[in-house]
Structure 1
Amino acid sequence: MEDTASSWDRRQVLTLAGISAVGTLALGQTGAVAQEDANVSVRFNDQESDGSSVVVESLYTEVEAEIIIFHSEGDRQRYKVLNVEAGTEFSNRTIELDEPIPETQLISISIQPPEGGYSYGGARATVAVDEPLNEPDANGAEATVELVEADPDAGFNWPYLLYTPSTSNSTTESNDTGTRPLIVGNSPWRGVPSETERRLESGHGHIENGRLNEIATEVNSPALVALIPSRSEDGSYENLSLSGSDPPRLDLQVLAMVEDARTRLSDQPYDVPEKFHAEGFSSNGRFYDKFTALHPERINAFSAGGNGIAVLPLEELSEDIPTAGDPSTTTLPWSVGVGDLPDLIGTEFNRDAWLETNQFWYIGAEDQDPENPEEYVHKLYRGSGEVDTLISEVFGSLQVDDRFRTSQAIFEQLGVSAEFTAYEGAGHELTDAMIEDVVDFHRRQKHEEFGPQFSRTIEWPSGTFTVEETLTISVSYENLGATEATASPTLVVDGETVDTAEVTIAPGEVDRTEFEYSFTSPGEYTVSVDGVESEPFEVTAADDNTDASEDQGSTDDSSTQAEPTTVDQPGFGIVQALTALGGIGYLLKRWGVDNNN
């Protein structure tokens, strides 16, 4: 093989010098960027595209801005330039490009002043053009997203998207527990019933390259996106209404979707339990907060962001419950509490099951308007109705300082298994820090409920082996969970267990073990570790290999002697180049000194 260091020429050395100079210029601009005091954010994830459009997971700018989508490298070709007004905010939006992306590239999005200048902020992602981002595993199936049409007979009048992770019988991504809970959410955009295409587009972005995909990929689980509306056709808000039975309540439709998905996943090499995980932001966070109160026995863990209030597991307020104000009543009707829930759904609130659910509440610390809290657009229940008034009396007015902190204090008083985190500098938005913590929360809860999950790598020996020759099989495990876990690999030869081992791995760490084995007779053998089979092992008698070695030894030595490798270096080589650069620096220094003199 060619010596990599020797293959560099003087042009490459000089190119590196140029890169260093450019890097210095870029670093010099950092201070100027930081001086622009504008609250902007954008999330842009790796994705597949036909080249005509890209999906932006979320974008917010508090100032008028110009958004530029361009090639991050090379010619920095611009594919789209659009101007947006101050206060623009959207999620999972497909942006049609003015110029198509011709091939798979690293694409940047920059938010900057309309008059030009330094960028307020931006993001980069790989856009795979007509290429799958996830290649199929060697012996398994690639990850897929399926649109399941509405099936009123099965209990759901709206479609849903089902993500199935890649599975394999090869050497990696082994889930030792064999149990993978569904990760469930709604399309970020829900709208009125007739907006089916926009809901579908939003759902695809969520499950293919958005937040739900990040969770499902991290915990190696299937995921479901319910494509359900949040308003009636006249615009009335009906996020999760308990009134009426035709069509069925949305929470019951989501349950029916989950059961349908479990049936569709029954042929996968893992179990999908009844309990699932849920995630939602803003109104979708409120949806799954209510859903958990209605069906706590079906939820292992849920995360909710961008809301200050939570459904309280109480029928009546007692004196020991901390409140922001002085409520005019102690009775807590749905959905402030669960006081009248039996009258609405015909069953009692399952308090014990609800207390066993694991909850993660998150919000931007700036997700409120202290100057005009009653008109803050992202605050739910800001009207003058009875429920709105009671919520203000119990939780307060400011979304973060009052409502979020009061919810936290009440949950702590009740001993609820919940985490509350407010993120400094963030508004009503999803930040990288939020998503990292949400993903980590679901990984931890999956591990605690359903056992450890490992990424496993098996190193098989290759070639033909002889009788009594010792072969070594190495097995490495990475602990993907949040607590210490033990893997117990088993070595099986021709269906018979011949050895076992135990490997204890700290969270996030990798450890390995080795099996050593010798065959006692010639033949072809099937060998497996943890049910993963290798290619058949061919074993020969020891003297067969000896004869072959002697035959090879009788060949002409000159035919096997390696020729010395030479590498042409036109002009001068790397050492000479560096020496020349040093000489140039010396001459420049002398020139400066002479001029000063």
Structure 2
Amino acid sequence: MSTKEQTAPLNFYRRGRTPITASRMDQRFSGCSYIPSGYDPAGDRVHPLAVLVHGSLRDAGTLRDEFIDFAEAHQCVLLAPLFPAGIDDADDLHNYKHIAYHGIRYDLILLDMIEEVAARYRVEKGRVLMHGFSGGAQFAHRFLYLHPERLSAISVGAPGTVTLADEGSAWWVGVKGMEEIFGRPFNVTAMREVAVQLVIGDQDIETWDVTVGSQSPFWMDGINDSGETRVERLRTLERSLKAIGVEPSFDTVPGVSHDGTGIQEPVKAFFSKVLAAP
């Protein structure tokens, strides 16, 4: 540890890139933030908040850092939650993607993380921006179904499996039974108020990590019916959302395969447009 680190006041670590910090709600989970340089502790400006949800590799800190340019351009606070693999099952990689796992409600953990950030910084906690890539996109679009009133905009990047806005198919192929499971109604009216982006590379066509096998704990009848590739599945999700009156934008990035960094420029442009709107 450097002399500067030994003597720095606590506030030194609460500006810019913050440390990964345990959740007060459940210390198995954690998160890190970025506080833009224009944040004034003595000021009264309320800053937008963007939540960035990692994929299966759990690269929360890297994802946070990749959006620092956006955070500075818009004086936006970033929050990147970290949901470790291996919770209750050393071989599990997917826990957070379906929102509920072994009695854990990942949506509620994230909502409390937002409250933690808002208790320390002046941020717009009522409606946040959210982006998720791959496994994070699975979480993000399911979060949209459960908590649309907490989102101003959501960017769904290349999910492996999708839950369709279909009240005739059981959760998590569709949304039937969602209210019984989560205590949250399927609020189409609130969903229509959220700006939605679907984004993917046009070469994201590998199937080895997309097809759900019959022996998987996540197998359900119909789970693979939305398409063979991520591109096909995202198009199916687009049609499903449009059928209930949600009008997502669909951005395809030429030459990009399953690469979260490769789709970030359209995400930043989408969020920039949302923040510039009245």
CA contact (8 A) 1:299 1:357 kept: yes
Q: Does 1:397 align with 2:228?
A: yes
CA contact (8 A) 1:156 1:256 kept: no
| Corresponding residue number in structure 1 for 2:120 | 264
User: Which whole-Å deviations, capped at 9, do the CAs of 1:102-136 have from their partners, x for residues lacking one?
Assistant: xxxxxxxxxxxxxxxxxxxxxxxxxxxxxxxxxxx
| Corresponding residue number in structure 1 for 2:70 | 215
Residues 421 and 157 (structure 1), Cα distance of their counterparts in 2 relative to 1, 3 Å cut: same
Q: 1:185 aligns with which of 46, 52, 55?
A: 52
| Corresponding residue number in structure 2 for 1:205 | 62
Q: Please give the alpha-carbon distance, in whole angstroms, between the structure 1 residues aligned to 2:80 and 2:209.
A: 23
Q: Does 1:348 align with 2:191?
A: no
Residues 219 and 311 (structure 1), Cα distance of their counterparts in 2 relative to 1, 3 Å cut: farther
CA contact (8 A) 1:383 1:389 kept: no
Q: Following TM superposition, by how much is the alpha carbon of 1:443 offset from its aligned partner in structure 2, in angstroms?
A: 0.9
Residues 178 and 422 (structure 1), Cα distance of their counterparts in 2 relative to 1, 3 Å cut: same
| Corresponding residue number in structure 1 for 2:37 | 166
Unpaired runs of at least 5, structure 1: 1-49, 51-141, 170-176, 191-198, 317-331, 370-375, 452-597
CA contact (8 A) 1:159 1:226 kept: yes
Q: Following TM superposition, by how much is the alpha carbon of 1:165 offset from its aligned partner in structure 2, in angstroms?
A: 0.7
Higher percent of residues as strand? 1
> Higher relative contact order by CA 8 Å / sep ≥ 6: 1 or 2?
2
Quick check: 289-298 or 225-234, which moved more?
225-234
Residues 259 and 220 (structure 1), Cα distance of their counterparts in 2 relative to 1, 3 Å cut: same
| Corresponding residue number in structure 2 for 1:150 | 22
Q: Following TM superposition, by how much is the alpha carbon of 1:257 offset from its aligned partner in structure 2, in angstroms?
A: 0.4
Q: Does 1:305 align with 2:160?
A: no
Residues 408 and 308 (structure 1), Cα distance of their counterparts in 2 relative to 1, 3 Å cut: farther
Q: Please give the alpha-carbon distance, in whole angstroms, between the structure 1 residues aligned to 2:160 and 2:26.
A: 32
| Corresponding residue number in structure 2 for 1:36 | none
Same amino acid, percent of matched pairs: 25
Q: SS at the partner of 2:111?
A: helix
CA contact (8 A) 2:165 2:240 kept: no
- TM-score where L is the length of structure 2: 0.81
CA contact (8 A) 1:156 1:253 kept: no
Residues 151 and 378 (structure 1), Cα distance of their counterparts in 2 relative to 1, 3 Å cut: closer
Q: Please give the alpha-carbon distance, in whole angstroms, between the structure 1 residues aligned to 2:193 and 2:268.
A: 20
CA contact (8 A) 1:282 1:305 kept: yes
Q: 1:294 aligns with which of 146, 166, 171?
A: 146
CA contact (8 A) 1:240 1:249 kept: no
Q: SS at the partner of 1:286?
A: helix
| Corresponding residue number in structure 1 for 2:247 | 417
Q: Counterparts of 1:76-115 in structure 2 under 5 Å?
A: none
| Corresponding residue number in structure 2 for 1:83 | none
Q: Following TM superposition, by how much is the alpha carbon of 1:168 offset from its aligned partner in structure 2, in angstroms?
A: 6.6
Residues 309 and 158 (structure 1), Cα distance of their counterparts in 2 relative to 1, 3 Å cut: closer
Q: Please give the alpha-carbon distance, in whole angstroms, between the structure 1 residues aligned to 2:143 and 2:165.
A: 13
Q: Following TM superposition, by how much is the alpha carbon of 1:418 offset from its aligned partner in structure 2, in angstroms?
A: 0.7
| Corresponding residue number in structure 2 for 1:6 | none
Q: Would you say how many aligned residue pairs link Structure 1 and Structure 2?
A: 259
Q: Please give the alpha-carbon distance, in whole angstroms, between the structure 1 residues aligned to 2:237 and 2:120.
A: 38
Q: Counterparts of 1:212-291 in structure 2 under 5 Å?
A: 212-232=67-87, 233-236=89-92, 237-238=94-95, 239-245=97-103, 248-266=104-122, 271-291=123-143
Unpaired runs of at least 5, structure 2: 3-13
CA contact (8 A) 1:265 1:272 kept: no
Q: Which amino acid aligns with 2:128?
A: F
CA RMSD of aligned residues (A): 2.9
CA contact (8 A) 2:99 2:142 kept: no
Residues 286 and 189 (structure 1), Cα distance of their counterparts in 2 relative to 1, 3 Å cut: closer
Q: SS at the partner of 1:390?
A: coil
| Corresponding residue number in structure 1 for 2:11 | none
Q: Please give the alpha-carbon distance, in whole angstroms, between the structure 2 residues aligned to 1:287 and 1:250.
A: 9
Q: Please give the alpha-carbon distance, in whole angstroms, between the structure 2 residues aligned to 1:292 and 1:286.
A: 10
Q: Please give the alpha-carbon distance, in whole angstroms, between the structure 1 residues aligned to 2:260 and 2:19.
A: 26
Higher percent of residues as helix? 2
Q: Please give the alpha-carbon distance, in whole angstroms, between the structure 1 residues aligned to 2:74 and 2:130.
A: 13
Q: Which amino acid aligns with 1:158?
A: F
CA contact (8 A) 1:279 1:303 kept: yes
Q: SS at the partner of 1:339?
A: coil
Q: Does 1:384 align with 2:255?
A: no
| Corresponding residue number in structure 1 for 2:9 | none
